[in-house]
Amino acid sequence: MDTPHVLDQPITLAPAGHDLPGEAARLRALGPLIRVTLPGGIPAWYPTRHDVLEQIILHPEVGKDPRRHWRDWPKVAENPEWSWLLGWIGEQNMFTASGSDHARLRKLIAPSFTARRTKAMRPIVERITAELLDALEKAPAGEPVDLRTAYAHPLPMRVICELIGLPEEMRPDFARLIENVVDTTVTPEQALANYAELQTALEDLIACKRRHPADDLTTEVINARDQEDRLTDDELRGTLLLVIGGGHETTVNLISNAIHALLTHPDHLAAVIDGRITWPAVIEETLRWAPSIANLPLRFTLAPLTFAGVTIPKGEAILTTYLAANHDPARHGADACRFNPAREGGSGHLSFGIGVHRCLGAELARMEAGIALPALFERFPAIRLATDIKPTDQVPSFLVQGWQRLPVHLHASSAASE
């Protein structure tokens, strides 16, 4: 077998991410593993195929701790252009941990996301969903409603806030700060200011819960730090940020991406409504076709490693390219770039990870979407987009795939009903 050619010059990824599927396809045409440049000039490797990404994720000599595994980690503090990375890999939590540290941190959080605990959250999700739908009923007739703002965002935000016990008055600031972390078009000054404000917000939350402990995840994590000394202060802050950010932003985009996909594919929507396609199939296909996390920073080689004939030197960074893997024709067929909830094997995506780093909140996200989507279309069967949604309406990020706004009409127009 021929050795793949490695390009002389890395490919620069578009910071705003307005054409993530097209970018993935163009890179795949160049080879299985491509050298790229991330915003700010950060060098990394981009796997373009499902099999290659899976091998990388599962390889025992690929780590996630930038402080120990990435030779360029000192440059993050030296170069303000790299500061957007801080909200992703600057924290110490199970997302950036490997080996025994990862197992210790995961064990602390895992009990809150067991099948039993997730099932116990179902009445809460149903209640919040019903409240949001009732509020939508009161929207002025004939005026468009932004479903991201009024439905897709508040549902998972309220669910995760109830789970962790985030006080009502703190929720808007956390939502804003996490959205800024996701935005990979911010200036270095904005990224640094946002990261500093985020640290202050986390300290305020910890102080609040120490004064007012309750039966919630935040109090449990604080107790692990204070009583058992199983967490450092940095790990405490990092763990809370991971749960808050990972627990709502990804589900916001799962719900809004599914709504958009169905409204722009009326034949599939009709098949769902009449029972020919199931809601779980819609959710899995949305996760595959439009994963909330398209690209996840970063993994690092602990030794020189070869994948698909390409050798990555020790200490280099690899982007976890979920969207590229999910659109790989070799895995998902020639129409992998199309939304088709009737396809077979749609659950074979990597959007929630694989192995020991598989997302703990995957089943909670599926449950929220599985309640929110049918409830919306049952309540508003005539729902339709109020305007054409353009690529520039997407979240400005090469990491996250979602919509900044989702304007719809909830009811049939008066002209159509006559």
Cα–Cα distance for residue pair 149/281, rounded to 1 Å: 25
Cα–Cα distance for residue pair 312/325, rounded to 1 Å: 19
Among 10, 72, 32, residue whose Cα is nearest residue 307: 32
Grouping H, G, I as helix, E, B as strand and the rest as coil, residue 83 is helix
| Beta strand pairing call for 310-312 and 407-409 | unpaired
Grouping H, G, I as helix, E, B as strand and the rest as coil, residue 344 is coil
**Contact at 8 Å (CB) between 315 and 63?**
no
What is the average per-residue pLDDT within 36-47?
98
- For the stretch 89-99, pLDDT in tens is 999 988 898 88
**Is 90 exceeded by the pLDDT of residue 141?**
no
**Contact at 8 Å (CB) between 248 and 157?**
yes
**Is 60 exceeded by the pLDDT of residue 182?**
yes
The single-letter code of the amino acid at 71 is R
**Contact at 8 Å (CB) between 76 and 85?**
yes
Grouping H, G, I as helix, E, B as strand and the rest as coil, residue 143 is coil
**Between 104 and 135, residue with greater pLDDT:** 135
**Contact at 8 Å (CB) between 400 and 249?**
yes
Domains of the chain: 11-417 (1.10.630.10)
**Contact at 8 Å (CB) between 408 and 385?**
yes
Query: What does pTM read for this prediction?
Result: 0.94
The two tokens of residue 175 are 């939502």
**Contact at 8 Å (CB) between 321 and 295?**
yes
